[in-house]
Amino acid sequence: MSKKIIKNELPENYEELKKAANRTSSWRARFNAIEELGNYNTSQVIDILNTRLVNDPVYKIQELAYRILLEFGEDVQLPAPKKFEVIKGANKVFLRVKKSLPADHTVEEFAAKLKRMRIDVYDAYEGEKGNDFNTWLENEWKNLKK
């Protein structure tokens, strides 16, 4: 396995990567942008990585930013994973979506409306829960019905 070459300059597409790294509607775009920015050890990139490390709702993005910052020689601590709400106030969002739907709505209708109304919440939980997302969302939805 060859060692990754890290450049001490900004990438040509820096502005695009910066936007993608902060895109709340897509954890995948943030992850990919952080991964690419990890090839460029500059103060601007370090600022973006520190922001994602401290503030990203998706833990795998925090972990990626942490690993890259360590590679860059930065003195950083990995935050503990959030135990409950990935996004503060998400339960209120779920309840608002549920109340906006007919009483006999399905979990699929709930998921589609959540995605339309609050893609940031939907996306953060999808990124955080991974393959368990649909099961998790269905359980959240069932608990709202009680």
List, for residues 80-119, the tens digit of each pLDDT value: 988 778 888 999 999 999 999 999 999 999 999 999 999 9
pLDDT at residue number 3: 55
Whether residue 131 has pLDDT greater than 80: yes
pLDDT at residue number 145: 63
The model's confidence at residue 136, banded by pLDDT at 50, 70 and 90, is: very high
- Which of 25, 77, 14, 15 has its CA nearest to residue 50? 77
Rounded to whole angstroms, how far apart are CA atoms 130 and 80? 18
Q: For the residues 2-18, what does the mean pLDDT come to?
A: 83
40 DSSP β-pair partners: 7
CA 122 to chain centre: 10
3-state SS track over 77-120: CCCCCCCCCCCCCHHHHHHHHHHCCCCCCCHHHHHHHHHHHCHH
Summarised one tens digit per residue, pLDDT across range 117-127 is 999 999 999 99
Q: For the residues 135-145, what does the mean pLDDT come to?
A: 91
